[in-house]
Chain A
Amino acid sequence: MKGLIRNNFYSMENNIKISFVIALFLAVVSFFVKQEGFIQMIIAMQLSIFIVNVGTSLHADVVSKWNKFELTLPVKSNDIMKAKYISFTILILLGIIMGSITAVYAYAANGFSNARSICYGYEFGLTLSAAMAGIMYPLMLKIGTEKNEIIMIVSAIAAVGLRALLSAVLTPLTGEMNMQHPLVGIVSAIAAAVIFIGSYFVSVKIYRHKEFS
């Protein structure tokens, strides 16, 4: 499985570098911007910027026919999917690390005064990245990667929609439909994590029934 994960990262290497540069630029921007609203959006963007490479990864596999070839390797089909989802988890972790640069600086500059804003950035970023990956990958596996940009946009909209839906569902507990409420943030992040984990099992099932001609 180590080889499969290594291959995933080699094929995304260039795009990951670009994501790093963008995340680093956003971190630098955060040093000069004091508004809490910007800080939380920068953290959310840093958390989710790496996960857009999920589409790149699968598209590269299809173009090079690696997705067909890897089935002939001495690995179980479950392990191929596991390697993919471990790679996605690492991408999310990379986002968390980059987001933490912004969070640490914001804390150093202003203390805990904007802690809620930082938390919101993490919650929203995690919801966006985990739900996006969880929705995007099985969809691409099922219908192909030709329309990967559209699938990515649909996944992002679905991830935001998830948060909106939960804020509506949780109205009796939060008092009003408030997407920035801490409870909505935490429940959304947990729901996105559940989608991500569930997506693995869906992908395994799709992969087992997929034919490569």
Chain B
Amino acid sequence: MSESRTVASLLLAAVAGLALFPFASDEFYLELFTHFMVLGIFAMSLDLLIGYTGLVSFGHAAFFGLAGYLLAIITPESEAMSLWVSLPVCLAGVALAALVIGWFSVRTSGIYFIMITLAFAQMTFYYFNENVALGGSDGMFIFTKPTVGIGGFEIIDLGDPTTVYYAVLASLVACYLLLSMVLRAPFGRVIKAIRVNEHRTRALGYDTRRYKLAAFVIAGTMAGFAGYLEAVSTGIVSPGHLSWHQSGLVLILVILGGMGTLYGPVLGAFALGLLHDQVQDVTVHWQLVQGIFVILVVLFLPHGIAGLVARLARRGAALAERAREPES
């Protein structure tokens, strides 16, 4: 009980810190942190699959990139489009794609699932990479930002980096709360059970495939939401957004941060992002550093940063306990 309360207060403090960050930051870091938070949402959505349902998807980038492409396709070149139109359209499109891909994928498990999700993501990648009408390997620009208005009044200006930052922060918090709610609900109980023992879950009367598919669609749609935010904030979408390196990256973020925690993947996004930012000044061979880093994390930190924090917290609590004992 106290452990979860500690976590909750740390998270609140982190959100407060992020809320105050724009006052102390220049535009470069503001946009960098916006990007980290978008990746955080993306990684959090994958955590629902990996950390809670036990489905290791290696094609999650398909949904991230697809949302961006959908936005680029429906946004007219010269006049702005309302977010109230473009967001639902993009999310519905991504959800449909997740439903189709998921329908095939959840029939398989383990290593097959890893490979089939990868294959579907590659299919999406090649489709956009080779489609000249959609920009081919150069990708597409989103020329106008979506407008956010209520009753004719423009309430949020997505052209302003600080506004985008806060919008993304709010989205991050909202996604966290949404997934927490889903995980506490009966549905969450079932998918957690599937991760631990799918066979028994089925024997207890659950059509586990349907629940896995539902989790897949939720996670895919949320990844699409992250992709939408990314496209809005950067104004560009390219095949790189759906490449398997993007799927690999988000997988790394989940493990680095600590799977099965929701907030861990966000930590992972910040940790790897800041590391990149630092290493960039020293060497151009970021991939090499990243690769070695990933190998070291797998070998020595399988439960990620969140796992490390929890271990330290437990050790701290044990020490405090021992210190208190002689007094009583």
Q: State yes or no: do A and B come from one complex.
A: no
Write the residues of chain B forming the contact surface with A, with a CB cutoff of 8 angstroms. none
Write the residues of chain A forming the contact surface with B, with a CB cutoff of 8 angstroms. none
